[in-house]
Amino acid sequence: MLRLPTGPITAAARRNLEAFETTSAATELADDARTWTAIAWSWAPGPPLRVTLRSERGDVVDFEMDAHGLWRMHTDPNVPREAVSTTLA
């Protein structure tokens, strides 16, 4: 599930979020079993446009759109991860 702000935001911020919402990444997150909530986004007209999402588990992903309209995803390397048996050697 993808949760975007529903409260009052500027017209530019709304357009930026709508631009992200049309991406395949947003569609995949909307279909994900986890709930992804927008915690930060660009308020000024862009590009670049940025959207940061956090899951209920604490996972954080950043999306950035460049001047060519290409969206890139970055995961937060500072989020602690639990080791699983396949990663232990």
User: Can the peptide bond before residue 47 be classed as cis, meaning omega within 30 degrees of 0?
Assistant: yes
Q: What does the pLDDT average to over 56-78?
A: 85
Range of the domain at 14: 2-75
50 pLDDT above the threshold of 60:
yes
In a domain, 86, yes or no: no
In a domain, 85, yes or no: no
In a domain, 18, yes or no: yes
Total tally of structural domains belonging to the chain: 1
Bridge-based pairing state of the strands 2-3 and 60-65: unpaired
Partners of 37 in the β-ladder: 3, 54
The pTM of the full predicted model, rounded to 2 decimals, is 0.79
How would residue 84 be classed by pLDDT, with cut points 50, 70 and 90?
low
Q: Where are the beta strands (DSSP E) in the chain?
A: 2-3, 36-41, 49-55, 60-65, 71-75
pLDDT digits (tens, 9 = 90+) for 19-49: 999 999 999 999 999 999 999 998 888 788 9
In a domain, 81, yes or no: no
